[in-house]
């Protein structure tokens, strides 16, 4: 079984996805980690992000399930967002991501999991929240990793990523067909997870 969770930054996808995977015993895949891993590789090898061939050449060998502390720094997220808008990058990653369906029960979180990567997923969810809520969550997440930013800085980062994700020509951020939309503003992790479990049980 495949469950997809899509939505913008700060909507709670990763936190909810991890808890849902724990409850169900499914493997959890955070697609953003792939783009962050690629961003770090680009930085470390001093590759020009505009050099699409060189960037795509880094994709083989990336650890899809690795998570490094620097993944979640704003500058890494900004570069990852830019790289994710490159059609060649998304194309090269598509087949690799789809191969995860062969690993068994999977919860896949991202911005195009239910719309492009796994359009035939048995269960699709789209999480969203107000911009102030998403800003606060992102600020708290960064603070927990030792990176303290002003609210206006975090809001600007999220707004920029929202615009880029929704306007890109390849795999834009959309509500996947058949997805259950959940506004997580004012909801706790347990409340969101229970809502998702109820929808899964109904089907």
The H-assigned helical ranges of 5-150 are: 13-24, 31-44, 52-56, 74-84, 87-98, 131-144
For the segment 116-168, what is each residue's pLDDT rounded down to a tens digit? 999 999 999 999 999 999 999 988 887 877 778 888 998 998 999 899 889 98
Two structure tokens written together for 58: 């880094």
Assign 63 a pLDDT band (cuts: 50, 70, 90): confident
For residue 163 the two structure tokens come to 């615009």
| Structural domains of the chain, ranges and CATH numbers in brackets | 2-184 (3.40.50.300)
Task: Find out whether 49 and 55 touch, Cβ atoms under 8 Å.
Answer: yes
pTM of the entire predicted model: 0.86
The gap between the terminal CA atoms of the chain, to the nearest Å, is 12
């Amino acid at each position: 079984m495949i469950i997809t969770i899509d939505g913008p930054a700060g909507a709670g996808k990763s936190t909810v996805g991890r808890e849902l995977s724990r409850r169900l015993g499914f493997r959890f895949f955070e697609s953003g980690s792939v783009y962050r891993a690629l961003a770090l590789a680009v930085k470390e090898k001093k590759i020009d992000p505009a050099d699409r061939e060189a960037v795509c050449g880094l994709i083989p060998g990336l650890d899809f399930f690795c998570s490094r502390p620097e993944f979640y720094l704003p500058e890494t997220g900004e570069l990852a967002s830019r790289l994710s808008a490159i059609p060649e990058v998304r194309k090269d990653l598509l087949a690799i991501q789809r191969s995860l369906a062969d690993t068994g029960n999977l919860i896949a979180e991202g911005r195009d999991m239910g719309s492009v990567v796994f359009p035939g997923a048995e269960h699709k969810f789209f999480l969203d929240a107000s911009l102030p809520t998403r800003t606060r969550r992102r600020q708290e997440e960064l603070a927990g990793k030792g990176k303290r930013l002003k609210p206006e800085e975090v809001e600007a980062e999220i707004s920029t990523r929202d615009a880029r994700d929704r306007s890109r020509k390849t795999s834009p951020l959309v509500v996947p067909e058949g997805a259950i939309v959940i506004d997580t503003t004012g909801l706790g992790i347990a409340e969101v997870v229970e809502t998702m479990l109820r929808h899964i049980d109904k089907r």
